Amino acid sequence: MAKIEDIEEGIRKYFEEVIPKTDDESWQQWVDFRSRTHSDLIELLKQDVRNSVKWRAIFLLLVPELDWSLFYWPANTISEGWSGHLSNFINDLPFDLAKYTARWINEFCRSLQLEHCETPKETIMGMSGFQILMRDPDKYHGALVFYNACILRLLAILPVDSEEAARLFMNFSLRDISVFASQDDSSGYNPFMNLMFDSRVDKKWKLAADAKMREIVLAEKRGKIKPRAKWETAGWWYANLIQSAAAYFSSFHYDDPYDIDVIIGQIKFVLDNGLTNLGHWNKAEYILSVLYSGGAHNWRNRLGRVEAEHKELFRRFSRAIVLDQPFSINDYHKQSAA
């Protein structure tokens, strides 16, 4: 495991070997030419300049602490919010720079994950006539959220058999970096959902993420682990994924999020492990549509020859919706599924 002091020393040794000192003067002149922001660093990556200059720009886009950098950069311009849109710069990187970016994200993730506290500190702020619960995220929350977004983009660019991609996937968090809840949104397995629905991500990583998620679901069911918060129950999130994916499969307006054999496997996993009571199956008719006809994009190829296994899954899932869940004739979705 990399400690903070270890990575600082590693940064110094690495750049002393690969970054030419001859660039220092021209770099400082460029930085001081006018007030610079992260947007300037991103724009620099599109210019016809040496890779050694682009290495500096990428490093400054990624480094969580300016003190860790050997490169000149005004302290007051480093982003505090680590806005997710900054990860867009990765989309246009050539392979060699994407590989370089992956190296530092992996290094920073390993170090910061050791320091990060997933549960924010809570304070109560008194207002006139009422009180507000405030959650103060950990110091490295924003950086780790940013890295998670970058990893998703890099997995879509790097070769699936590359060592860099494998390390990135190991550092990718299926669960939100920190616990949060509001009227509009809450923490949980949003990154897992994003990966599964990203059409650019290879099936290899979707299957690997799905396998990890299944382990978490079963571990929670067996009482080996507990969710960080009641709204982060893995079984509920897994049910939500399957239903959301099935809705895509059943619509002509959306592309299938992943291969149909993957969602068939997910449905079978739920049934084989008695998980139909862990989620709110309020879109079950979409799942049954996939099992019956293969979804909107596959029905022509499968009409009249639905596999026997899928027919059996259709029967089992229909039965589970009626018997394993509180069934109400007034619930349109359950009525439709039944």
Residues 68-79 have pLDDT tens digits of 888 999 865 444
How confident is residue 107, by pLDDT bands cut at 50, 70 and 90?
A: very high
In 3D, which of 175, 168, 137, 176 has the Cα closest to residue 150? Answer: 168
Q: Residues 162-172: what's their mean pLDDT?
A: 97
Q: Can you give the pLDDT at residue 65?
A: 86
Cα torsion 260, 193, 201, 262 to 10°: value is -20
Most confidently predicted of 76-85, 139-148, 165-174, 288-297: 165-174
Among 110-119, 133-142, 228-237, 324-333, where is mean pLDDT lowest? 324-333
Q: Where are the domains of the chain?
A: 1-173
Among 72-81, 152-161, 299-308, where is mean pLDDT lowest? 299-308
Residue type for position 287? I
Q: Residues 306-333: what's their mean pLDDT?
A: 72
Q: Residues 104-112: what's their mean pLDDT?
A: 92
Task: Give the Cα separation of 183 and 153 in Å (integer).
Answer: 29
The residue that leads in pLDDT, 238 or 183, is 238
Q: Is the pLDDT of residue 225 over 90?
A: yes
Q: Is the pLDDT of residue 193 over 90?
A: yes
DSSP states along 97-118: HHHHHHHHHHHHHHHHHHH--S
How confident is residue 42, by pLDDT bands cut at 50, 70 and 90?
A: very high
pTM: 0.85
Q: Residues 198-215: what's their mean pLDDT?
A: 97
Task: Give the Cα separation of 53 and 265 in Å (integer).
Answer: 47
Q: Can you give the pLDDT at residue 1?
A: 46
Mean pLDDT of the chain: 83
Q: Residues 276-296: what's their mean pLDDT?
A: 76
Please give the DSSP secondary-structure letter assigned to residue 66.
G
Q: Can you give the pLDDT at residue 113?
A: 85
How confident is residue 302, by pLDDT bands cut at 50, 70 and 90?
A: very low
User: What proportion of the chain, given as a percentage, has pLDDT over 70?
Assistant: 80
- DSSP β-bridge partners for residue 131: 126
Termini Cα distance of the chain: 52
Rg of the Cα trace of the chain? 24
